[in-house]
A = this chain, B = another copy of it.
Amino acid sequence: MADKQGILIVLSGPSGSGKDTVLKRLIEKNDDIKVSISMTTRSMREGEIDGADYYFVTTDYFEKKIADGEMLEYAQYAGNYYGTPKAPVDEMLRAGINVVLEIEVQGAEKIRKIYPDAVSVFLMPPSIPVLEERLRLRGTEDDEALSHRLFIAEQEIRRAGEFNYIVVNDSIDRAVNDFETVIRAEKMRFSRNKNIISEVINNV
């Protein structure tokens, strides 16, 4: 069963669900899990590393990638492009690495069309009040912006049924553990081990 294809994991969840924290811990703990790196046209900031934080590219280059169908998804914010190039994801999958794609709720369906074997995970806050508390603790927004964020979060939570698995983030450690459990179980699916019958019978 060596040299198997990695699994593409689509991770989504509302702002404040803890996606970044869970992902960071997950990657620190598991050598065979990596996050896809986004491409952007915005300028590199102090301390950022090209090819680690983002692939920093020109607008012309980004638009050519879009035209060539080489972006898995992209969007524009504040005049800059942000998106996920397909080639590095495919390369990691071929190398047997499990790749996590952190994505907006509405982008998940598009990815599933491109990668039917992808596994999608929705990171769920334990409750709306807990989510509100977490967003408030960040202290980065006024009450109006916060209400708007909660409104969006609720819309996103209503779409959780579009995902295969629900991981409830009531504790980071447990959420990371649950995420690992999903990946380990998915590895055992027959559909990802079709060669095993002949391997066992022919003892290769």
Contact = CB atoms under 8 A, between A and B. Distances in A.
A53 interface: no
Interface residues of A, number: 35
Contact of A188 (B166, B189, B190): B166
A98 to B, nearest CB: 14
Contacts of A129: 203
Contacts of A141: none
A109 interface: no
A158 B190 contact: no
Interface string A151-167: 00010011011011111
Contact of A181 (B125, B154, B181): B181
A145 interface: no
A172 interface: no
Given A190-B160, A196-B124, A196-B160, A185 B165 contact: yes
Given A1-B168, A163-B190, A166-B193, 12 more contacts: A124-B200, A125-B200, A127-B200, A127-B203, A157-B197, A158-B201, A160-B196, A160-B197, A165-B189, A165-B190, A166-B188, A166-B189
